[in-house]
Amino acid sequence: MPADPTDSPAEKVKGPASYFPSIEKKYGQPIEHWLGIAAEHADAKHMELVALLKDEHGLGHGHANAIVAYARK
């Protein structure tokens, strides 16, 4: 009998995007919301944008850094 394709593990998401499910769950906004904020401040330096997400939106450092890193790639 052939293996059930639903039994195969999905390809694991790596890098900054691996944080997206927990960001959406913790902060109650879709990732597009956070990427939109990053796009609005595209002229800011990486750590300036991380600080903005932390200070003005309450994100933790790792989550803010993941959003900025993903948006900048």
Does residue 26 contact residue 15 with C-beta atoms inside 8 Å? no
Taking only the tens place, the pLDDT of each residue in 1-53 is: 444 444 445 678 899 999 999 999 999 999 999 999 999 999 999 999 999 99
Q: What is the pLDDT of residue 5?
A: 47
pTM for this entry: 0.81
Q: Identify residue 1 by its one-letter amino acid code.
A: M
Residue 40's Cβ-count burial label (10 Å; 0-12, 13-18, 19+) is exposed
Q: What is the pLDDT of residue 6?
A: 45
Q: What is the pLDDT of residue 9?
A: 56
Q: What is the pLDDT of residue 10?
A: 61
